[in-house]
Amino acid sequence: MPTRMKRRILDCLRGMGTAIVAMAVFAVPIGCLIALTLLVISMEEGGGALTDLTMPLTEAAVLLTQGTGFKLGAVTLTLMPLLLTGLLVGLIAQVTRRFGASLPGFLVGIIVWVAANLAFADATTLAVLDQNTVIGARSALVFALGYAAGGLPGSSATRMAVDWLRDHVSPPVRRAIGLGLATGGLVIATVLAMGLVAAVVWIVLGHEDMTLMFDSEGMETGSRLLMSLITLFWLPNVAIWAVSWCAGAGFSIGDLATFTLWSGQGDGLPALPAFALLPAPVEADWARIAIQLVVPVTAAVIGLLVLVLPKGFRLRPPRKADRDEGRRAVLAMAYPAGAFCLAAAVVAVGMSAIFALSNGGLGTGHLAHVGVVVMRATQSVGRTAAIGLTCAWLAGAVAVAAAWGLHWLLQSHHKEETDDKHEPSDQAGSGIRLP
């Protein structure tokens, strides 16, 4: 057998192994957790043989992680658990690094992955809410993201793209593009971290109400712990909603309740313990203003750091006020302007996609839409982040202009003093004239 054909066969086997191993490593722990939860609920709450639902719920959970909802009796769930989705993409990336990436391996792996998900959709006894084409497309996208994350860094395709950029794009432009992308990503990461902090604060403030709701439902300790653990799978969703809440756009639980900095009432919501953690309105005006300033201030601080740090643009004041130094100062501010425009676009596009992924439904009626209004939330976050980056650039431009103007004044003053010293005097001299 030719060496090239043997290598292609090995690549295909590695791609198949990547899909099978990733699915097994992900689905088995999920199934064990679901089985344990159903067993504990059956023992503590005195229900029927709930463990019979272990396999159908496991298959449905794998599909839900990739965006396909399901219906169980009167319960309809289309809200993706983004924590599981992130773990799944990371798992595929890690397995890809272990097995190795290649184009034949990717093609075979994605076929196996889609086939496994379609088999889950066909095998589960729960009502799956999407057609097979949609299920296949969503599962293929998840696998492609994970495979790309694991295989593209350090690959020959990446090296070719980097070499092409080096040959066709000047170093200052490359640096500006790279810093713009990095700045936008850093702003998004920082804003999401802020949302996570806000969500944790909600949990701390609302845990007593959640305990009271557990008591009213008569849930025992084991059921409480396991249900709380499962609820954590949607913690990233809540953190993303918290970003919208902090930016002033808020979020809604269907048409039953809307939560913003100014209003929030969950009395009309179903008796789910997790709903007890949702925030109350902020009463103090100064606190609302401070919360809304977090995004622009964060963007401004990041922008200033990118301007002055050595790994950023390393902005420095001009050393003198001549024409060449002025031209260099203008160019020194032009590249950050382009980079910050790119960063603002990255924030807008990235947050729009993140907000859309965080939405879903908990039913078909009043709870059909749970989450944020994507356009409103994106405008609130993107606009305030752009304002922060603009303020950072203006601060840098003012500092450079002030330094150049100061040098110009000093040079002008020094020139005047020099001219005065060399200027001929018109005053008549005094002295003794010799005969």
Residue 411 pLDDT level (bands cut at 50, 70, 90): low
pLDDT band of 432, cuts 50, 70, 90: very low
**Percent share of the chain, pLDDT over 70:** 88
Burial (CB count <10 Å: 0-12, 13-18, 19+), residue 415: exposed
pLDDT tens-digit map of 138-179: 999 999 999 999 988 877 888 888 888 888 888 888 899 999
Whether the pLDDT of residue 42 is over 60: the answer is yes
The pLDDT assigned to 212 comes to 86
Nearest one of 68, 107, 109 to 92, comparing CA atoms: 109
Three-class SS state of 429: coil
- CA 259 from chain centre, in angstroms, equals 22
Cβ-in-10-Å burial (0-12, 13-18, 19+) of 66 comes to: buried
pLDDT of residue 431: 45
Q: Is this prediction's pTM over 0.85? A: yes
**318-333 b/e (C-beta count within 10 Å ≥ 16 → b):** beebeeeebeebeebb
How would residue 434 be classed by pLDDT, with cut points 50, 70 and 90? very low
Query: What mean pLDDT comes out for the span 285-309?
Result: 94
pLDDT at residue 363, rounded to an integer? 81
- pLDDT beyond 80 at 277: yes
Residue 353 pLDDT:
96
Residues 6 or more apart from 85 whose CB is under 8 A from it? 65, 66, 142, 357
4 band by pLDDT with thresholds 50, 70 and 90: confident
133-142, 259-268, 420-429: segment of lowest average pLDDT = 420-429
Model confidence at 433, pLDDT cuts 50, 70, 90, reads: very low
Which helix (DSSP H) or strand (DSSP E) does residue 127 occupy?
A: strand 127-128
Question: In the structure, how many helices (H) and strands (E) does the chain have?
Answer: 13, 6
Return the pLDDT at 243: 96
- What was the pLDDT predicted at 111? 96
What average pLDDT does this structure show over 55-78?
Answer: 91
What confidence tens digit (pLDDT) does each residue in 312-350 have?
888 877 666 556 666 777 777 889 999 999 999 999 999
Ordered by start, the domain boundaries in the chain are 3-168, 171-361+369-415
Residue type, 79: L
- Residue 120 and residue 63 in contact, taking contact as beta carbons nearer than 8 Å: yes
Average pLDDT, rounded, for the chain: 87
